[in-house]
Amino acid sequence: MTIAVPATTTVARPEQALPRVVGSSLRVPLVTGERVEYANLDHAASAPCLEQVRDAVDEVLPWYASVHRGAGFASQVSTRVYEQARAAVRRFLNARGTDAVVFARNTTDALNLLARSLPRHTAVLLFDTEHHAALLPWRGPNVRRLRTPSSPAQAVLELDRALGAAPVGPRLVVVTGASNVTGEVWPVAELARLARRHGARIALDAAQLAPHRPVDVRALDVDYTVLSGHKVYAPFGAGVLVGRSDWLQAAEPYLVGGGATARVTDHGDRLGVAWSAVPERHEAGTPNVVGVHALAVACDVLGRHWEQTTAHERALLARLREGLKTVPGVHELTLFGSDHDRVGVVSFTVGGQDAGYLAAALSAEHGIGVRDGAFCAHVAVHRLAHGDRALRASIGLGTTEAHVDRFVAALRSLVVEGSRWEYEVRDGRWAPLDDQRALPPFLR
């Protein structure tokens, strides 16, 4: 039977043009009563939706139905959409044909799934600079956290020593592709070669790298890769774990329920359960067809635009970092030094200024969104910022030169001249006094 499936590769603009994001013309209210174009410098937390992704979601929604085993035509279309998404993710990562593609909610969910699937007594080695999603799922006496390295060479040296001292048996190295704190790109290929030499496997947290650079699983020679849709301009609640299937196939399901079961039989005082094979084994419940389709479309769009995307971001990142040098008291956080390769993320402190207060004033008085705090990487931020909280400005496809220049000018004005409004700490966060900014109509 031929099933008409909504396309995932429709291009509405010339191939040379940057993909556009939803909300690029969004205007937000200020406490002063004005409205300005929103400058979103918080892409590292969640990227806006691509217009192609929004259009693809609109296209598939009339066909939405539960996937797998449904006899209805809409269910068969949705099933085809869902399964074709695995191929799109595989292409995006240049994954091996034998790799499992298991859909999850996000990177955190995917890494917890992997952690639950490790063979008993697996030694896990990771650096303490990881995002909490990669830092916290691993438990037990065989988990070894390595201290923050000062250079890629030291990272390789420290891991070499740790692997040499690790217990005999299965071993897993967990590493980030790009730091969500500093944006610095980690030496993944070198660490993978080292892991392979010691007979270990390696898992790559690509959440922060995948929106900015191609991730080639075969070239990097990593065993597992995880990423989130909401980081790659598909904010519809999907993530993915891609990697070798043997550990996943041998493990009990991460969640139990419909879809994870091939057969359930009644034995009186107990139930007999035959689990499904990977990937369904770890995708219990009704899958997020819309989110998975959105992720697949985003992967296809980004995969066709790397040259334009990287050139755009490199230019804006250089402009941002040069601009920050003109702001008194700015100290940029770095692991490997200011000249090290990085994606569009810059975290910094401002001497004598509270990061939360600056973030609140940038939003309330200037319509600029940045992140403040420790970015779900508390160990790394507290070490690099000497116990302080930090500000993070992160760029992406929705960022323009005007956004960067407005941010630098606004930050400089706040640091040199102070804010024009009064602020207080409310529920642990800085907030403007007498904030009369109107919420959008759908929230009123």
- Per-residue pLDDT tens over the stretch 137-196: 998 899 999 999 999 999 999 999 999 999 999 999 999 999 999 999 999 999 999 999
Query: For the domain with range 54-303, which CATH number is right: 3.40.640.10, 1.10.10.10, 3.10.20.30, 3.40.80.10?
Result: 3.40.640.10
User: Mean pLDDT, to the nearest integer, of 4-15?
Assistant: 44
Interval 247-269: pLDDT, tens? 999 999 989 999 998 899 999 89
pLDDT of 13 above 90: no
Length of the chain: 444
Supply the pTM of this predicted model.
0.94
DSSP run (H or E) holding 332: strand 330-332
CB 181 within 8 A of CB 377: yes
C-alpha to C-alpha distance for 171 and 41, rounded to whole angstroms = 38
Burial zone of 418 (CB within 10 Å; 0-12 exposed, 13-18 middle, 19+ buried): exposed
C-alpha to C-alpha distance for 115 and 109, rounded to whole angstroms = 10
In the Cβ-directed half-sphere of 390, how many Cα atoms lie within 13 Å? 30
Helix (H, G, I), strand (E, B) or coil at 125: strand
Helix (H, G, I), strand (E, B) or coil at 399: coil
- Please list, in sequence order, all residues whose beta carbon lies within 8 angstroms of the beta carbon of residue 78, skipping any fewer than 6 positions away: 60, 63, 64, 65, 66, 67, 70, 289
Interval 277-334: pLDDT, tens? 999 999 999 999 999 999 999 999 999 999 999 999 999 999 999 999 999 999 999 9
Q: How does residue 16 score in pLDDT terms, banded at 50, 70 and 90?
A: low
- Please list, in sequence order, all residues whose beta carbon lies within 8 angstroms of the beta carbon of residue 202, skipping any fewer than 6 positions away: 172, 173, 174, 175, 191, 192, 195, 196, 221, 222, 223, 224
Residue 362, number of CB atoms within 10 A of its CB: 24
Q: Is 376 a catalytic residue?
A: yes
Domain spans of the chain? 27-49+306-443, 54-303
Cα 423 to Cα 327, 354, 388, 416, 418, distances in angstroms: 22, 12, 20, 17, 12
Which of 8, 100, 32, 74 minimizes the C-alpha distance to 292? 8
**DSSP 8-state assignment for residue 342:** B
DSSP for 6-64?
--S----S-TTSPPPBTTTT-EEE-TTS-EEE-EE-BTTT-PPPBHHHHHHHHHHGGG-
Residue in 11, 22, 143, 376 annotated catalytic: 376
- Please list, in sequence order, all residues whose beta carbon lies within 8 angstroms of the beta carbon of residue 321, skipping any fewer than 6 positions away: 332, 346
C-alpha to C-alpha distance for 180 and 197, rounded to whole angstroms = 28
Compute the mean pLDDT over every residue in the chain, rounded to the nearest whole number.
94
Q: How does residue 8 score in pLDDT terms, banded at 50, 70 and 90?
A: very low
* Chain mean position to CA 444: 31
Superfamily of domain 27-49+306-443: Aspartate Aminotransferase, domain 1 (3.90.1150.10)
- The first and second tokens of residue 429, run together, are 């966060």
C-alpha to C-alpha distance for 117 and 112, rounded to whole angstroms = 9
- The first and second tokens of residue 183, run together, are 């944006």
C-alpha to C-alpha distance for 218 and 244, rounded to whole angstroms = 12
